[in-house]
Amino acid sequence: MKILVCISSVPDTTSKINFTADKSAFDKTGIQWVINPLDEFALSKAVKLQESQGAAVTVVNVGDAISEPVIRKALAIGANDAIRVNTEAKDSFSVAKEIAAVAQNGGYDLILCGKESLDYNGGAVPAMVAQLLNQPFINACVGLEVNGEEISAIREIEGGKEKVSVKLPLVIAGQKGLVEEKDLIIPNMRGIMSARTKALNVVEPTNSESKVDSVSFDSVPPRAAVKLVNADNLDELVRFLHEEAKVI
Q: For residue 58, name the pLDDT band (cuts at 50, 70, 90).
A: very high
Burial of 231 (C-beta count, 10 Å sphere; 0-12/13-18/19+):
exposed
In CATH, what number does 2-221 get? 3.40.50.620
- Domain locations in the chain as residue ranges: 2-221
Q: Per residue in 131-179, pLDDT tens?
A: 999 999 999 999 999 999 999 999 999 999 999 999 999 999 999 999 9
Cα-based distances in Å from 215 to 25, 26, 51, 212, 218: 9, 12, 46, 9, 10
Cα-based distances in Å from 174 to 62, 65, 111, 144: 19, 26, 10, 9
Q: What is the pTM of this model?
A: 0.88
Whole-number pLDDT of residue 24: 83
Q: For residue 218, name the pLDDT band (cuts at 50, 70, 90).
A: confident
Q: For residue 1, name the pLDDT band (cuts at 50, 70, 90).
A: very high
